């Protein structure tokens, strides 16, 4: 039995917390938003897992708490399911409690999650020798309602990577005994540049904003991905893959990822999405007021933690990313803010003063050794 602490009790957090408890592990849950924990407390510390999860049923949490320190200190493995653009704040809040012998998983890390989190831990005096892991994605296509979470689909493969590298062997054995579908990636850039969320979320969301504001329900991944929008996502993907190639790594295309994760096929991305049964029934947000778009994680999370760092890497590597840049510009215009400045730019990731070769070396060399006193 492993003592897990789940930081974030939204869709993914509720799903993995219930899943782990139903597998027989000790599970504590925390959320920075009191209402998310209050719902669990009001239901007797129980979360119900429904749908197409590997196990289903009512899971009795060992602890549901508003006290972050209590959850962190009582756990061996922490799994952070908060939005990636909150990771900086989480690192600040976790720093006083995190121990060197613990592992913290950014689930998912998006692009540069481990690098940013370790940099923030160092700035706030936290345990920089704790194992920080990022996953490429989450296992569940799911939606939470009250204290229940419905799983529409469960992915077959969850790649992960982390630092310090020498501690990953022990973690790999530990986590794969629980989740056999978690697979160790060759290095951080394999998980960070394999960020599918930045392809599926910001562009299609921005191009469907009018539809969302009209208030008519529609399936996000089915109705929201017209042939033209799917073609645009394929262009985003080709730019992502070009940056990966320039970094010296080979990654699957978004269409290949759909086949690996969900077993769906098609002659192009549009057809593959239409054939993905796991995405059917996942509704797009309905925006009742113009400011409701400010809460859309598909933009506020995936632009600064996905598109921004990939475009920044592309610029350093002299790889053109015009479609990615266009979506960033569109997001900045709609949201009247500079995501390039606030997001995971090279400075925020601690990469600004590194050479291209040093950046590539992060696949196998912990940043603390490269940055010396900076980190």
Active site residues: 201, 302
Which of 62, 73, 72, 55 is CA-nearest to residue 1?
62
- CA distances (Å), 152 to each of 166, 190, 262, 281, in order? 36, 26, 11, 8
267 burial class (0-12, 13-18, 19+ CB within 10 angstroms)? Answer: exposed
Which of 306, 307, 311, 186 is CA-nearest to residue 249?
186
- CA distances (Å), 308 to each of 23, 25, 331, 356, in order? 38, 37, 11, 17
Distance separating alpha carbons of residues 367 and 145, to the nearest angstrom:
40
Q: Residue 305 carries which DSSP code?
A: I
Distance separating alpha carbons of residues 83 and 138, to the nearest angstrom:
12
Structure token digits, residue 54 = 């590997």
Q: Name the H helices within 48-99.
A: 68-73, 87-94
Cβ within 8 Å of residue 57, ≥6 positions away: 18, 22, 48, 49
**Residue 108 in 3-state DSSP?**
coil
**Residue 76 in 3-state DSSP?**
coil
Other Cβ atoms less than 10 A from the Cβ of 97: the count is 18
Sequence-separated contacts (24+) of 314-320 with Cβ below 8 Å: 314/239, 314/242, 314/243, 314/246, 316/346, 316/356, 316/359, 317/243, 317/246, 317/247, 317/356, 318/246, 319/239, 319/242, 319/243, 319/246, 320/239, 320/242
> Bridge partners of 79?
6, 105
Distance separating alpha carbons of residues 106 and 205, to the nearest angstrom:
24
């Amino acid at each position: 039995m492993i003592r897990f602490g789940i930081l974030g009790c939204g869709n993914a957090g509720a799903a993995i917390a219930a899943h782990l408890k139903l597998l027989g592990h000790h599970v504590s849950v925390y959320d920075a938003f009191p209402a998310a924990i209050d719902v669990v407390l009001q239901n007797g510390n129980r979360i119900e897992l429904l749908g197409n999860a590997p196990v289903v049923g009512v899971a009795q949490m060992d602890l549901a708490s508003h006290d972050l320190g209590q959850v962190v200190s009582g756990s061996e493995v922490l799994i952070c399911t908060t939005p990636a653009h909150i990771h900086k704040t989480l690192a600040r809040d976790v720093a006083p409690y995190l121990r060197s012998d613990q592992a913290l998983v950014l689930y998912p890390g998006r692009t540069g999650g481990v690098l940013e989190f370790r940099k923030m831990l160092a700035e706030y005096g936290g345990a920089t020798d704790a194992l920080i892991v990022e996953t490429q994605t989450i296992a569940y296509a799911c939606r939470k309602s009250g204290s229940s979470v419905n799983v529409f689909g469960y992915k077959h493969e969850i790649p992960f990577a982390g630092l310090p590298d020498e501690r990953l062997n022990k973690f790999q054995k530990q986590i794969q005994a629980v989740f056999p579908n978690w697979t160790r990636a060759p290095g951080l850039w394999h998980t960070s540049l394999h960020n599918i969320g930045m392809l599926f979320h910001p562009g299609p969301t921005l191009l469907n904003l009018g539809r969302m504001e009209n208030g008519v329900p529609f399936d996000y991944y089915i109705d929201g991905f017209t042939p033209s929008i799917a073609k645009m996502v394929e262009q985003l993907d080709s730019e992502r893959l070009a940056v990966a190639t320039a970094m010296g790594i080979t990654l699957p295309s978004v269409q290949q990822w759909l086949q690996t994760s969900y077993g769906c096929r098609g002659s192009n991305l549009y057809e593959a999405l239409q054939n993905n049964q796991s995405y059917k029934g996942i509704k797009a947000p309905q925006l009742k007021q113009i400011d409701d778009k400010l809460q859309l994680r598909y933009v506020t999370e995936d632009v600064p933690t996905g598109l921004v760092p990939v475009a920044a890497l592309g610029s350093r590597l002299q790889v053109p990313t015009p479609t990615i840049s266009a979506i960033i510009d569109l997001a900045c215009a709609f949201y009247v803010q500079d995501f390039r400045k606030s997001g995971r730019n090279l400075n925020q990731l601690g990469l600004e003063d590194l050479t291209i070769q040093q950046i590539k070396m992060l696949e196998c060399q912990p940043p603390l050794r490269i940055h010396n006193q900076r980190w």
